[in-house]
Amino acid sequence: MGKKTYDDHDLEYIKRVLAEPQDITGNKMVAEFEEKFAERIGSKYAVAVCNGMCGLHTLLAAAGVGPAVEVIVDPIVQFGALAVLYNNGVPIFADVDPATHNMDPASFAARITPDTKAAVITHLWGLPAEVAQIRAEADKHGVIVVEDCAHAILAEHKDKKVGAWGHAGMFSFQASKHLSTGDGGMLTLSDEGLLQEVRSLMNWGAAPDRMAYNFRMPGIVAAVGLAQLERIDDYVQQDVDNAQLYHQAIEGCDWLVPQALPSYSTHSQHIFTLAFHGEKQGIDYEEFRRVSREEGAGLGFGYTQRTWKEAQIVAAYQFPTFSVPVAYGKGCPSRCPHYAKQLPYRDGYCPNAEDLMPRLCLRGLSSGTRDDIARGADGLRHAIERVS
């Protein structure tokens, strides 16, 4: 049995939606979910959406992203960059800190230009990025900060939860996440003007007065979300506890380096992550992968690939969607007439990310039982012993 619990408590919330046929959209339940989620995160406002990606799409649209507008994004995950393309903007990738895997504030500052309108900052694997420093720099230039909190619900940076640091945040409730409704998401916002823009963009009807999107969350999904929100502390704590099993498995191994955790942050441990540096001690990477599979370590290797057929692990900007680009055909949006600059994407554009990507060894912790995790940790320990 998996660790997430769905039972009669969830059904009671669903029945509340179905008991009001005059409001089958479930707007009352959605509003209640938004209010309680905002309170839990510590944000002023929250807006429920049908999934996390449409949430990023909407937030960047509300921020004014469009043709020839640049948005700074992370190079390890492509989701922020895709949301920029959805709005016909131009993704500009900042490099990462190789220890934390999150965006390097110095690289962020260096990538800002007069064309920069917004930034999407990912709290990767569940570890908060240096969002306080990034927000302070962004404010100097009028750049809107959107936090991608898909991995990091309840994680804290300097005693404030992620999703409450930026102008806005996005949380995902996709099936593998800590809080799962099958699919769905929540936006957190601190600015009333941005809130009104988001509401306007989601004001879907027979004749909307502007370009709008049918990204609303159904009431039944919100009902499950409310029930699961009451359990979220336990879910996150289970992942934190499970991560300790993997930390124990690598004790004494200096060529598998876990993601650094600053003393002023907490980690939701959605994904336990290691960086392989065995080549420095004569340990072959491919042998380690093979032995890890044989021992049932439960690790994935690398995070994204150039294509499904070509198993080359690369940074997001090296994907054809961005580098060719092929998103809309004819070179749009980054080679449209409105954008006169030369695309900066090239090998070595974010050297830390390019070096880190093929080294990543990952174990998702938000599904499976404690016994599953324990077996995987034991498998990793045995694999290390075999190749060392």
The Cα 169–Cα 171 span in angstroms is 7
User: What is the average per-residue pLDDT within 291-306?
Assistant: 87
The Cα 262–Cα 276 span in angstroms is 20
pLDDT at residue 25 tops 70: no
**Pick the residue with more confidence: 176 or 306?**
176
Query: Tokens for 355?
Result: 């070096």
pTM over 0.75: yes
pLDDT at 310: 52
**Pick the residue with more confidence: 308 or 95?**
95
pLDDT at residue 312 tops 90: no
Please, which residues bridge with residue 146 across strands?
120, 168
pLDDT at 369: 87
Which tens digits make up the pLDDT trace of 138-159?
A: 999 999 999 999 999 999 999 9
Query: What is the identity of the amino acid at 336?
Result: C
CB-neighbour burial class of residue 293 (10 A; exposed 0-12, middle 13-18, buried 19+): middle
Question: Which segments of the chain are extended strands (E)?
Answer: 45-49, 70-73, 90-93, 116-122, 144-148, 156-157, 160-161, 168-172, 185-189, 256-258, 271-276, 300-301, 360-364
Which tens digits make up the pLDDT trace of 107-139?
A: 999 999 999 999 999 999 999 999 999 999 999
